[in-house]
Structures are given as structure tokens and as C-alpha cells.
Structure 1
Amino acid sequence: MQENRTARLTLLIDPVKKKIFEDICASQDLTSSQVVRRLIREYIQQNAGGRDLPEWLKGSN
């Protein structure tokens, strides 16, 4: 089973930080969504504790 990308996460961020973040993402040929998904995945892996994670979420990036 793969990651289901139908859920939406809305967050508020300072406009200046948003612009800098988007510029950095673009300079690496990545979308801001790709980077946020990677950050969330890494955070879950590092902080899951004893939670049962799907196989596709357990491994390294």
C-alpha cells in the first residue's frame, strides 16, 4: 500500500518565511508540498515511539 495523498493540511505561516521557503524549494526543483511531506514523514519516523506504522512509512526516505 502506498501513501494516500487525499488529505489536506492547512497551516498559517509568515508571508516572508513562505516566500523564502518557496524560493528554496524551487531552487532545488521541488514543490513546497514535496518538502513538507518529506519533513512530516521524517518527523513521524523519528518520533513514532511504539506506534505501528505502515511498511511504506517505516524505512528511510
Structure 2
Amino acid sequence: MEKRTARLTVLVDPDKKAAFEKLCDQEDVTPSQKIRQFMRDYIEQALGSDWKEQVFNNEGKKE
């Protein structure tokens, strides 16, 4: 199950940030929602559609 407890800090160009926020506003999504969507899409592209099983079944296990 997903937990929303981790924080990710990203430094970006102020003009790109403003453009991103404006585009998010036009889509009626928050920048955080869009970043989470980008992350899910990237993870699925790299790990496949069953990535949740791979990630969440390995919760708590150290490599």
C-alpha cells in the first residue's frame, strides 16, 4: 500500500516552475499530483505494469 510520507525536494529554474504550475492549473491538477503521475509512468516504463507488486511486496526488505 502506498504511503505519502516521503518528501522530495527538487531545484528547478524559476521560469520552468512558473510554466509548469500554469500548465498544471490549466489541467486542474496540483504540481505534486503531476509529479506523482510522472513518477508512476516512469516506474511503469522501467519495471512494467506489475511494478506495484514488485515494489510493495519487497517493502521492508533490504538489498
Q: TM-score range by the shorter chain?
A: 0.7 to 0.9
Which residue is equivalent to 1:53? 55
CA distance in 1, matches of 2:35, 2:6: 13
Q: Does 1:43 align with 2:45?
A: no
Which residue is equivalent to 1:14? 13
Q: How many residues in Structure 1 have an aligned counterpart in Structure 2?
A: 53
Superposed displacement of residue 53, structure 1: 3.1
CA distance in 2, matches of 1:48, 1:54: 13
Q: TM-score, normalised by structure 2?
A: 0.74
Instruction: Kindly provide the amino acid, as one letter, of the partner of residue 37 in structure 1.
Output: R
CA distance in 2, matches of 1:39, 1:54: 19
The runs of at least 4 aligned residues of structure 1 exceeding 3 Å deviation read: none
Percent sequence identity is 49
Q: Does 1:33 align with 2:32?
A: yes
Q: TM-score, normalised by structure 1?
A: 0.77
Local SS of the residue matching 1:54: helix
Higher helix share: 2
Larger radius of gyration between Structure 1 and Structure 2: 2
Structural RMSD (CA)? 1.9
The higher-RCO structure (CA 8 Å, 6+ apart) is 1
